[in-house]
Amino acid sequence: VPSDTRTPAMFPAELTAVLLNLLTNAIKAAGNRGRILASIRSPRKDCGLRFRFDNTGEAVDLKNAERWFRPFETTTTETDPLLGQGMGFGLPITRQIIEEYGATVEFVRPRKNYATAIQVEFPP
């Protein structure tokens, strides 16, 4: 993450909710021995802020990935002692928050050696 990266003008609680939802999902999906790669791309003239989380958990089928943005859709079957049990609200809440700022969130093709990636992109 470049040290001069600045987020779009948004409420800190909203940004915290977005990052917390995406990161906890990545942690749960990666499992105990999994890996997560978090990256941010600073704005350029033709591109706004873009951040993504790749993880080594189970792959998300990109053709059917929109289903995970519907309420109550979850892969969590067991309660994690630290992160709790997913109820299927994290991604719908994340999408609702960032769309208010003209941003998008979607599953994208993961980087090599990763199974799943989700990306948030804010406009320039």
Q: pLDDT averaged over the chain?
A: 85
The neighbouring-strand residues paired with 119 are: 52, 106
Please state, in angstroms and as integers, the Cα–Cα distance from residue 42 to each residue in 7, 47, 66, 113, following that order: 9, 8, 26, 24
Neighbour order of strands in the sheet with 50-55? 36-41, 50-55, 116-121, 104-108
Q: What is the pTM of this model?
A: 0.81
Q: What is the pLDDT of residue 86?
A: 64
Q: Rounded mean pLDDT of 73-91?
A: 64
pLDDT band, residue 107 (cuts 50/70/90): very high
Please compute Rg for the chain using Cα positions: 14
> Quick check: helix, strand or coil at residue 21?
helix
pLDDT the model gives residue 19: 92
Pick the range with the lowest mean pLDDT from 44-58, 69-83, 92-106: 69-83
